[in-house]
Amino acid sequence: MSLEITFLGTGSAYPSPSRGASALVLRREGQCWLFDCGEGTQTQLMRSHLRAARITKIFITHLHGDHFFGLPGLLCTLSLQSDPDASKAPVDIYGPLGLRSFLWRSLELSHSQLLFPYTVHELVPTPDQCPAEEFKDFSGWDTGEALPQGPPGRVVHLDPGEDSYLLVEDEQLVVRAFRLFHRVPSFGFVLEEKPRPGKLNVQKLKDLG
């Protein structure tokens, strides 16, 4: 399995003319997975050798602006470069609880209609991931409010046995999120390649002594 990592931004707090806010892309078998999307990420993508249209998954570590304020703009740019296709697989977006509401409201208020489907999978944090005074429960924000245009997606809870969140699994790898301690609930992501059976013919070796 071939993996290639490109850093689009390594700055914090705010972007600068020479250094973007947090964003990196993992390229895997023709697909691009984006990790964080600070301001200016789409501009950095244009300067790189990567094609933004190949982004199929986006992972947001935490809800500080320098890690996700670039996301609505990126989605709108991707839409401008897209053709309407109801059969197209959705872009999967993973991040802390509250991300679905942020994206839906940002796109609604800006009258932005995306030409491609997307899903938001929210990770439910635990109170011990940040100082007690900073922890906010966003689970009831949209209770009782109809969100017919809101994006679909899963709400993912911590698996106590694994002490992690299972996000993606296919024939080659597993992607899990794990809890980090920060000023707000934060997550790290682990890509674990599954064992690959070898092609060694043990019986033939035995026959050859």
SS3 168: strand
Q: Which entry of 66, 83, 85, 207 is annotated as an active-site residue? A: 66
Residue 59: Cβ-neighbour burial (10 angstroms; 0-12, 13-18, 19+):
buried
The CA-atom distances, in angstroms, between 200 and each of 1, 2, 120, 193, 195 are: 19, 22, 42, 20, 15
Q: State how far Cα 60 lies from the chain centre.
A: 5
Gap between the Cα atoms of 14 and 9, Å rounded: 10
Q: Catalytic annotation on 137?
A: no
**Annotated active-site positions, please?**
66
